[in-house]
Amino acid sequence: MITSLAFAVFLLIGFLFFTAIGSFYLLFMGLIHYIPLVIAGVIMLYIWIVMMLFHYFSTKQRKRWFGLIAGAVIIGAAVWPAMQLYKASISTVGAEVDVYYYEPFAFDRESKLVSLKEEATVQFENHLPRIDGATALYPLYAAFVQAVYPEKEYNPYDSEVMANTTPVAYDNLFNGKVDMILAAGPSDAQLKVAKEKGLELKLTPVGREAFVFFVNQKNPINGLELKQIQGIYAGNITNWDEVGGINEPIRAFQRPADSGSQTALERLMGDIPIMDAPKENVSEGMGGIISEVSKYRNYKNAIGYTFRYYSTEMVGNEEIKLLAIDGVKPTKETIRSDEYPIASEFYIVTAGTKNPNVGKFIEWMVSAQGQELVEKVGYVPIKEQMGE
């Protein structure tokens, strides 16, 4: 009896040690949902061994009861990891963009960058303006760069021409790391930062784009009214059946503060407060929000937002569909005619740079050649809106 008891204690210490090591490993690997299952399995195994040591299983009934209890415990502990495995098994459509496809002068590999048929009327050899911007606009300003900058490598994350998100681009502009950015207009928070730093922002429109809302292809809704969009993001409309859809709760994704599309949503909502989104409903990247809405089963009731060009040209995700707003679909033609109700300009933004070529570069971007590239890339030229 004493020998069995000592062995049981020694075994308990060993099981605790290896369970702790295994749990820390799973935690480190991001597999936290397996920890309860491992702990339950170890406990049941330990109890079984101890009961065998002390000859508890002397009858079939005892064995049966232990088997039923152990099975229930293991099944209960397996629910969480099983749900995670099921979620991971649901097919999703990738929505992140490889910006290297748009890197200027990348002639040694496949490129999606458009170019002019003739040489640009402006050419830079030195004092190259440092430029950054929104991911969705990188194909445009990379095309500008390829037309007027000298041929060399321009790494999208470490060169004179970078492709960061809108918040990072504005931070780089405010901190003097770049001379100019291409992005949507600044948010109220970004305007406040600029004012605090004593910076005067100059916004030059260079093209027009549509702010779009999208749902999973399986959602029967094909369009919404602006007031319905506002109702959804105010938290007043919470079920698709309130807007003519099926009886499913609406999962409304948002973007992080100061991102271009989140600022566009804030402008659209005006004085209407935006509801607080659950943390899991705030996608970090523009591609992330498209991927979440396009998931095949678990997010078929979701809605998200982005910009037309990014979703249709850069991502091309066939698992989502863009919604018509007030009966108008977001296309280049409806942006051009101003029929689509939430089309707006995007800008070249500067903050008092001393680079002598910035003004020349901006002037060229809004010239006939620059606007030709805006059209060829897939945006709507600003000149058409100015009657030129």
Task: Provide the residue range defining the domain that includes 58.
Answer: 2-89
Domain end: 68, 89, 110, which one? 89
**CATH number of the domain residue 254 falls in:** 3.40.190.10
User: Is residue 309 over pLDDT 90?
Assistant: no
pLDDT-derived band at 280, boundaries 50, 70, 90: low
User: Is residue 370 over pLDDT 50?
Assistant: yes
pLDDT-derived band at 297, boundaries 50, 70, 90: very low
How confident is the model over 93-128, as pLDDT tens digits?
A: 344 567 888 899 988 778 888 999 999 999 999 999
Mean pLDDT of the chain: 85
CA 324 to chain centre: 22
Domain end: 64, 89, 114, which one? 89
Question: Do residues 52 and 143 both lie within one domain?
Answer: no
User: Is residue 221 over pLDDT 90?
Assistant: yes
Distance, in Å, from the CA atom of 357 to the CA atom of 363, rounded to the nearest integer, reads 10
Q: Say whether 174 sits in a helix, a strand or coil.
A: helix
Tokens of 302: 């979701």
How confident is the model over 196-217, as pLDDT tens digits?
A: 999 999 999 999 999 999 888 8
Q: Say whether 178 sits in a helix, a strand or coil.
A: coil
Question: Do residues 224 and 306 both lie within one domain?
Answer: yes
Q: Say whether 100 sits in a helix, a strand or coil.
A: helix
Contact of 366 with 382, CB cutoff 8 Å = yes
Contact of 265 with 255, CB cutoff 8 Å = yes
Question: Do residues 173 and 314 both lie within one domain?
Answer: yes
